[in-house]
Amino acid sequence: MTRKLILDLDTGIDDSLAIAYTLASPEAELIGVTATYGNVLMRDSVRNSLAVLDLLGAPGIPVHPGLPCASSAGDFSVQEISAFIHGRNGIGEVDIADSRRGAETTGAVDVIIEASRRYGDELVYVPTGPLTNLAAALKKDPSLAERLTVVLMGGALTVSGNTSPWAEANISQDPDAADAVFRSGVDATMVGLDVTLQTLLTYEHTHRWREAGTPAGAFLADMTDYYIRAYETTAPGLGGCGLHDPLAAAVAVDPSLVSTFPVNLRVDVEGPTRGRTIGDVERLNEPRKTSRVALGVDVDRFLETFMDRVTRLVRAD
Ligand code: BDR
Ligand code: CA
């Protein structure tokens, strides 16, 4: 079955790889991108998404602006660690042409609501940054929780976080939004560090893109090499960079790539563990679990599919 996907991106490096994977997947129809902040400012996420879509041969996919910061924060500035991992421009300091088109006038919140009304079960919404846009959409239209299927990159249940021992980056940028999303009852699959740190890309992989000899291949290889180099500093010994956001996109089109644990999730919003994803003890005995957490992943099948598809995409450039 073909699924219609909306990617909600803070377009950094792995977000760009999620765009590439989605475009290269025959089971997925990318109907739009909504922009959030995190790896970069929201406006730079719009810029990067438009430029990457153009370079990858998809200049018709609309990009919608989202909210620029968490509702609990007055402003947002990119953290030093994000700039270190993704580069100041979000795409590994690689220079690619700005798109000649601009963002759509309809904002992310309305796009989520309208698309879910229009496409129902066919739609999967894939946030790979803070959940600010989705939480705002659920607040505006609470009935969205009954209609929308969400596969998100974020959180960590059985492993430590990556911004603190307890918090993963996307959740830590807006813990209140993530908590509101999990408590809303929306059908959510959490693809967190438990699995994304098992799916690693190395220089041997990116070499295949460079060998394609195309602008798209050179861009993806140079950008991802920057990411791998950053991981050599932040996670020495891991053996590559985590394919966080592409794995979430892949699970959105093929849920059988992961095994999941059903649980009603919440996020700590108070105290020193703010940003931790954890089971909600108050909903522990509710028979219906609205979230599931990916805890196992078919690493070989995902990596093989990812490389085959993205390499074919860049060769066709
Ligand atoms: C997540 O944080 C961002 O830096 C990445 O793009 C990914 O979505 C990993 O924790
Ligand atoms: Ca991201």
pLDDT digits (tens, 9 = 90+) for 38-48: 999 999 999 99
Torsion of CA 244, 249, 250, 252, to 10 degrees: 130
- How many A from CA of 124 to the centre of ligand 2? 17
**Ligand 2 ion: residues within 5 Å (CB):** 10, 15, 128-129, 245
Distance of CA 21 to the CA centre of its chain: 12
Residues catalogued as catalytic? 10, 244
Region of 93 please: left (phi>0), alpha (psi -120 to 50) or beta. left
Domain assignment of residue 47, given as a range: 3-315
Q: Which of 127, 110, 106 is nearest to 118 (CA)?
A: 110
- Spatial separation of the C-alpha atoms in residues 12 and 27, rounded to whole Å: 24
Count other Cβ atoms within 10 Å, centred on residue 272: 9
- How many A from CA of 113 to the centre of ligand 1? 24
- Spatial separation of the C-alpha atoms in residues 259 and 239, rounded to whole Å: 23
Q: Which of 45, 166, 170 to mutate to test the pocket of ligand 1 (most atoms within 8 A of CB)?
A: 170
H or E stretch at 118:
helix 108-119
Check residue 11 and give its pLDDT.
98
- How many A from CA of 199 to the centre of ligand 1? 14
- Ligand number nearest CA of 227 is 1
Write out the chain's pLDDT in tens, 317 residues: 799 999 999 999 999 999 999 999 999 999 999 999 999 999 999 999 999 999 999 999 999 999 999 988 889 999 999 999 999 999 999 999 999 999 999 999 999 999 999 999 999 999 999 999 999 999 999 999 999 999 999 999 999 999 999 999 999 999 999 999 999 999 999 999 999 999 999 999 999 999 999 999 999 999 999 999 999 999 999 999 999 999 999 999 999 999 999 999 999 999 999 999 999 999 999 999 999 999 999 999 999 999 999 999 999 97
pLDDT digits (tens, 9 = 90+) for 92-107: 999 999 999 999 999 9
Q: Which of 199, 191, 192 is nearest to 298 (CA)?
A: 199
In one-letter notation, the amino acid at residue 302 is F
Check residue 73 and give its pLDDT.
83
Ligand 1 contacts (CB < 6 A) are: 12, 14-15, 38-39, 82, 128, 153, 162, 168-170, 244-245
Check residue 72 and give its pLDDT.
87
Q: How many domains does the chain have?
A: 1
DSSP for 69-82?
S-TT-S-----HHH
3-class secondary structure per residue, 174-199: CHHHHHHHHHHCCEEEEECHHHHCCC
Q: Work out the burial of residue 276: count CB atoms within 10 Å of its CB; fewer than 13 is exposed, 13-18 middle, 19 or more buried.
A: buried
Tell me the whole-structure pTM to 2 decimals: 0.97
Check residue 174 and give its pLDDT.
98
Check residue 244 and give its pLDDT.
98
Output the domain CATH number for residue 296.
3.90.245.10
Q: Which of 42, 78, 152, 153 to mutate to test the pocket of ligand 1 (most atoms within 8 A of CB)?
A: 153
